Amino acid sequence: MHRYKARIRRFRVQTRPKVRSRKRMEFTAVLALVVLAAAAVLTAPRLLSHLPDLSDLAARAYPSAFVMEGVPEALEGAFSAVLGAAQGSPASRAAELRSRHKVVRSVRVSRDWLARRIRFKVELRRPLARVVQGGRGRGYLAIDGEVFTAPEGLFSAPLPEVDLGGADRGERRRLAQCVADLAAGLPSALARMSWAPRLEGWEARLSDGTTVLWGDLRWTGQKAARLRQVLEDAGTAAIPMTADLRYFEDGKIFVRPSLQASL
């Protein structure tokens, strides 16, 4: 019996030229995409860093022409100079105006598209008192305790004077609220408030010559009402008096003739 040994034949399959060409193109395309993606990852941060800020783009979209509302004639020149020279968006120009002129309380911005200009509506701070130091005016006190300057004659209404001494911002804010609350609560109009640490707080002088050792700035309304009652009961309207309210917390008020009256 003859045994036949099976022979294994191996066949070599070759891809047709057309298919090989297509595969090479596909590989080249994928490689190109990978290279482009890597280049984008490397260059994107640099490109983004050179792009203009959104606020700059907005600023370029708006014209530089503007109008102002609520600005007194005495301040028009100074405000126009700031808004005209400031760069950036309308909001940043408004912020620059508030930064340069503390008399400005707020600025509202609107766009007049038809006239192609920006409208700045300005609101000024309201002064509660005139700030003095060493006999000289140093500006005005606002309700938030800020001290600001303004052209002479801008505020014509009579105002009390305050000598802030070394009072910090928190104490100035409390003083401003106290002055506002005292506008109609005292026996006569407030003429001056002075920081007097040696007297444990503040000293007030009224327009009728009364001196008040006010102490700290708590219980403003209660102190004013009680002071009015005590002076009326004393019946000394024609005599300058000194009232000591520093012990008001203990329920005590001391009243005596002022030194000028004694003399």
Q: What is the mean pLDDT of residues 139-149?
A: 94
Encoded tokens for 159: 């105002």
Residues 6+ apart with CB under 8 A from 253: 226, 227, 230, 243, 244, 245, 247
Dihedral sign, Cα of residue 229, residue 230, residue 231, residue 234: positive
Beta strand 117-124 with 129-133 is unpaired
For Cα atoms 187, 176, 125, give the angle at the middle one, nearest 5 degrees: 120
User: In terms of Cα–Cα distance, which of 203, 125, 111, 200 is closest to 163?
Assistant: 203
Give the pLDDT confidence score for residue 80 in this predicted structure: 93
Give the pLDDT confidence score for residue 100 in this predicted structure: 93
Region of residue 165 (phi > 0: left; psi between -120 and 50: alpha; otherwise: beta): left
CA distance 98 to 122: 10
With a cut of 90, say whether residue 204 has pLDDT above it: yes
> If pLDDT is split at 50, 70 and 90, which confidence band does 259 have?
low
**SS3 string of the chain?**
CCCCCCCCCCCCCCCCHHHHHHHHHHHHHHHHHHHHHHHHHHHHHHHHHHCCCHHHHHHHHCCCCEEEECCCHHHHHHHHHHHHHCCCCHHHHHHHHHHHCCCEEEEEEEEECCCCEEEEEEEECCCCEEEEECCEEEEEECCCCCEECCCCCCCCCCCCEEECCCCCHHHHHHHHHHHHHHHHCCCCCEEEEEEEHHHCEEEEEECCCCEEEEECCCCHHHHHHHHHHHHHHHCCCCCCEEEECCCHHHCCCEEEECHHHHC
Q: What is the mean pLDDT of residues 90-98?
A: 93
In angstroms and rounded to an integer, the radius of gyration of the C-alpha atoms of the chain is 39
% of the chain beyond a pLDDT of 70? 79
User: In terms of Cα–Cα distance, which of 112, 119, 65, 115 is closest to 91?
Assistant: 119
With a cut of 70, say whether residue 17 has pLDDT above it: no
Encoded tokens for 250: 């203990």
With a cut of 70, say whether residue 235 has pLDDT above it: no
With a cut of 70, say whether residue 249 has pLDDT above it: yes
Give the pLDDT confidence score for residue 131 in this predicted structure: 96
CA distance 94 to 122: 9
Encoded tokens for 260: 């000028």
With a cut of 60, say whether residue 57 has pLDDT above it: no
Q: Which residue has the higher pLDDT, 191 or 152?
A: 191
> If pLDDT is split at 50, 70 and 90, which confidence band does 2 have?
low
CB atoms closer than 10 angstroms to residue 211: 19
Give the pLDDT confidence score for residue 97 in this predicted structure: 94
